[in-house]
Structure 1
Amino acid sequence: MTDLARIIARQIRLTGPLTLADYMQTCLLHPQYGYYATRDPFGQAGDFTTAPEIHQLFGELCGLSLAQAWQDQGRPAPFALAEPGPGRGTLMADMLRAIRLMPGMAQAARPVLIEASPHLRQVQRERLGQITHLDSIEELPDMPLFLMANEFFDALPVRQYLHVGSGWSERVVGLDDDGRLCMGLLPPVDLPRSGKPGDVIEDCAAAAAITESIAARIARHGGAAILVDYGGWNGYGDTFQALRQHRPEDPLAHPGEADLTAHVDFAPLAAAALRAGAQVSRPVHQGDWLLSLGAKARAQRLAAAGDGGAMAALHRLTDPSEMGHLFKAMAIWPKGVPAVPGFEALEPDADDA
């Protein structure tokens, strides 16, 4: 049993079972034993590899997409160039390099990272130099906001419900007879979601609230946001998962030593953006989006210049059998301005994507 598992077990004995959201929050962000507080989880030496760590191609195209949106909105200056959950700072570094191609944009940018982990903040400073760190989206300055969020929402805590015939029973983390962590169910409740026995739904209130805050700032001050993550639209199913040393494992097995995530439901995020008065796109496949931005031509140029990994990276990022279809991208921008490159507006009454 890990140190954090003992702390969680003691808490359950004192106050009762934890919601899945509380369990995730503790495992990821406990100040002493939390996953992100104690390690650099990225790359081959860590537990997973994100798109920016695969190749510069991803971050460059993200930066150029935001650069075109900045140009289309009249080149506002100054503006916040923000990234929540920025990992090692690789994506921000690649975007900053890319936006230098747009005259005046780099000078107008005020780079901001939203990061909860003291350990990762230090890693980001080593990559980017002196950089502004914030604790939350709410602390962003009141100015135009151009934001890129890659694999940020999947790590936000979710609550999970199982349809048991008489209603939806929330899944919680408790203790078995031997004092080990185990899953349990609370009494059924009514929820405004249809289902049949055996169905599982997940609710991430934090994701909708953060999206609404981002969209409200964009609607008020201008800017754009691109959200990239794995997930779907009004999805059903148990997607709560743990990854350790690049392999899946039981999410209760090693609290604080494995990455915990759940697939992102883009439907409530889109609804939150519309509610905030912004325009939002349908989610599109990551591969289709990157190819629409010229990923293939850029990879070919890099390969011709001697980059031996460019074409393999293109395949991994865009092929449907790799990351191309699993990952989705969704954009937010103000009403009355051109769409962010690679996206089309979602009609407010759309019920699928």
Structure 2
Amino acid sequence: MTPLAQIIARRINATGPISLADYMELCLLHPQHGYYATRDPFGQAGDFVTAPEISQIFGELCGLALAQAWMDQGRPAPFTLAEPGPGRGTLMADMLRAIRAVPGLIDASRIALIEASPHLRDVQRDRLGDVRHLDSLDDLPNQPLFLIANEFFDALPIRQFQHVDDGWAERVVGLDENGGLRLGLAPPVDLPRQGRAGDVIEDCPAAPAMMTAISSRIAAHGGAAIIVDYGGWNGYGDTFQALAGHRPEDPLARPGEADLTAHVDFAPLAAAAIRAGATVSRPIHQGDWLLSLGARQRAERLTQAGDGGAMAALDRLTDADKMGHLFKAMAIWPQGAPPVPGFDALRLHADDA
């Protein structure tokens, strides 16, 4: 049993079973034993590889899409260029390299990284220099905001509910007869969702508020946001998962020593953006979006320059059987402004999302 598993077991013994949201938060962010507090999980030597670690193409195109949105909105200055959950800083570094070619953009930008892990903050400073770190999206300044969030929302803690005879019962983490961690069900509650016996639905309590913090600034002051993550729309099913050493494992097996994630439900994110007064796009496949921005042409140029892995990386990012369809992209921009490149406005009222 890991040190964090012992801490969780003592808490359950003292106060009873805990929600999956509480379990995920402890596993990922516990100050001494949390996953992100104790390690660098990214890349081939870590537990998982994100799109920016696969190829510079991803970050370059994200940066240029935001740069075009900045120009389309009249080149506001100053503005905040932000990234929540920036990992090792690879995405932001690639974005900055690409957008340096845009006159006036770098001088007008104020970079802000939203990062909870002290360890990763140090890694990001080593990569990007003296950047400004914020504790929360609520700390973003009230000025034009251009933001990229790649694989950020999937790491936010979720709650799960399973359909039973009397309604929906929350799935909670308790203890088995040997003192090990196990999943169980709390007493049923009424939820405004239809379901059949055994169906599982997931709710991410923090996500709408975070989207509101982003979208309200964009609606009021201008800017744009691009959200890239794996997930769907109003989905059902158990997507709670753990990854260690690039392989899936039991999410309860090694608390604090494996990454925990769940698929993102884009519907409540879109609803929050619309309620905040912003325009939001429909989610589209990551592969389709990157190809629409010229990813293939960029890979061909990198190949001509001697990058022998550029076309294989492009395939991994865009192929439907790899990351191309699993990951979705969604954009937010102010009402009346041109769309972010590669996106179309979602024709939906917030109450319908």
Q: TM-score, normalised by structure 1?
A: 0.99
* Structure 1 contact 233–352 (Cα < 8 Å) conserved: no
* Structure 1 contact 160–200 (Cα < 8 Å) conserved: yes
Following superposition, the deviation at residue 150 of structure 1 comes to 0.2
User: 2:331 is matched with which residue?
Assistant: 331
Cα separation, 2, equivalents of 1:325 and 1:244: 23
Question: How many residues are matched?
Answer: 353
Cα separation, 2, equivalents of 1:76 and 1:256: 42
* Structure 2 contact 274–349 (Cα < 8 Å) conserved: no
Cα separation, 2, equivalents of 1:205 and 1:221: 26
Task: Return 5+ residue gaps in structure 1 as ranges.
Answer: none
Task: Give SS of 2:345's match.
Answer: coil
Task: Give SS of 2:6's match.
Answer: helix
Alignment-mate amino acid for residue 245 of structure 1: G
Per-residue CA distance 1:9-33 (angstroms, 9 max, x = gap) = 0000111111000000000000000
Q: Is residue 2:9 matched to residue 1:2?
A: no
User: 2:181 is matched with which residue?
Assistant: 181
* Mapping for residues 100-119 of structure 1, pairs under 5 Å: 100-119=100-119
Cα separation, 2, equivalents of 1:236 and 1:182: 22
Cα separation, 2, equivalents of 1:136 and 1:351: 27
Per-residue CA distance 1:121-157 (angstroms, 9 max, x = gap) = 0000110111100000010111100000000000000
Per-residue CA distance 1:21-48 (angstroms, 9 max, x = gap) = 0000000000000000000000111100
Cα separation, 2, equivalents of 1:45 and 1:94: 20
Per-residue CA distance 1:101-136 (angstroms, 9 max, x = gap) = 211101111111000000000000110111100000
Following superposition, the deviation at residue 350 of structure 1 comes to 8.8
Following superposition, the deviation at residue 208 of structure 1 comes to 1.0
* Mapping for residues 84-233 of structure 1, pairs under 5 Å: 84-233=84-233
Cα separation, 2, equivalents of 1:228 and 1:219: 20
User: 2:33 is matched with which residue?
Assistant: 33
* Structure 2 contact 85–152 (Cα < 8 Å) conserved: yes
Computed over aligned residues only, the root mean square deviation of the Cα atoms, in angstroms, reads: 1.1
Cα separation, 2, equivalents of 1:292 and 1:16: 51
Per-residue CA distance 1:147-190 (angstroms, 9 max, x = gap) = 00000000000000000122000000000111000000001111
Following superposition, the deviation at residue 349 of structure 1 comes to 4.0
User: Runs ≥4 in structure 1, deviation > 2 angstroms?
Assistant: 349-353
Percent of aligned pairs with the same amino acid: 77
Taking a change above 3 Å as real, the CA distance of residues 67 and 56 of structure 1, as seen in their structure-2 partners, is same
Task: Return 5+ residue gaps in structure 2 as ranges.
Answer: none
Per-residue CA distance 1:36-95 (angstroms, 9 max, x = gap) = 000000011110000000110000000000000000000001110000000000000011
Cα separation, 1, equivalents of 2:115 and 2:324: 27
Alignment-mate amino acid for residue 191 of structure 2: L
Cα separation, 1, equivalents of 2:104 and 2:329: 27
Following superposition, the deviation at residue 351 of structure 1 comes to 9.8
* Structure 2 contact 55–310 (Cα < 8 Å) conserved: yes
* Structure 2 contact 271–351 (Cα < 8 Å) conserved: no
Following superposition, the deviation at residue 309 of structure 1 comes to 1.3
Following superposition, the deviation at residue 345 of structure 1 comes to 0.3
